[in-house]
Structure 1
Amino acid sequence: MSHNCKITKEDRYLLNGHRGCVLWLTGLSGAGKSTLAAELEAELYRRRVHAYVLDGDTIRSGLNNDLGFNPEDRRENIRRIGEVAKLFFDAGFFVLSALISPYRKDRRLARSLFQQGEFLEIYVKCAMAECERRDPKGLYKKARHGIIKNFTGISSPYEAPISPELIIETDQQPLQECVRQIISYLEDHGYFNN
């Protein structure tokens, strides 16, 4: 930190009744990252855990509205979101970052901002066919017709995580089971304890 703080993140954890962490949900468009993050935030709220969702679409419509979808802009998008996540984390929040974040190198950069155990990569895995079937915004159709350029999974690569903390298969189980898996991981690893 660049300024002298009198309150540490440990002080904030004590006030909140839990430590902070970053849950970085990555996966293809339509995999269910935003839906899962919203449901997980609601479950954490029920448990009186301070949480906040950093959704890729929301961030791109505000903070990162000056960025496109070429590799350099995608990298800057992830860098900025990583820095915002670090601020929320320092405040003691569970940060639910729901973003495609297609490149492993960029996800590693985001992880490097945190100590061991503070950043959890969650691969929201879903078959491409199911993502296209869901296609809530009609993006895959536009990408397949060449209307959208640099679309992840079609004309731009998605590099699946090699060793994420969790893999959640949203096309294989219902939403509540996906949430339960994440909550169980957090419980088993002591994230709800100071």
Structure 2
Amino acid sequence: MEAYVAIKDTPQEWQVTESVTPFEGAKTSVRTDRVVMPDGSVAGRDYQVHPGSVAVLALDDRSCVAVLSQYRHPVRHKLWEIPAGLLDVPGENPLRAAQRELYEEAHIKAGDWRVLADVYTSPGGSDEAVRIFLARDLSESEGERFAVSEEEADMEHARVPLAELVRGALAGELHNTCLVIGALALAAAQAGDGLDALRPAEAPWPARPF
């Protein structure tokens, strides 16, 4: 019987002969690099430069997840998502950012935090890295709710059983990257070594050191 091969992503950096930034937006930009290929040729690669993001799968004691729906103009859909946001400050602690997003988008605080998954959302066209947290021991946050505007003014909130999120993801009914990955990762963790075996909330994150 053929033995399994252990696999692990490894950092590499191929030679860049030229780099230009033809577009700079408020939060992200577009960069064009000329990259030396293994055969010696040089190819252009265009990609979005992104500060990184955090997302929170908040699980209550009924095994339901806090979700919200928001209009996403590039895909012309209103998507069900989990609370998430940008790492707006360079070097910002991702746990602090996740706690802020959970408060601002769901008015929830959590007593137990773990790392569910670290992902690159679209590595062929963006350097965006996302850390998805699991938050448990939930309670309502004190104080006033965060003021919303633009797309967030139309936001809906719900608590949905984890099993229903997994079903919806596999049925092609739910499409948000962080929701799908978070729900499937949580289900896998529950079926495997358990949630207490997940990485601690302050685990190193080489993609976005803090």
TM-score > 0.5, shorter chain as reference: no
When normalised by structure 2's length, the TM-score is: 0.27
When normalised by structure 1's length, the TM-score is: 0.28
Higher relative contact order (CA 8 A, sep 6+): 1
Higher helix share: 1
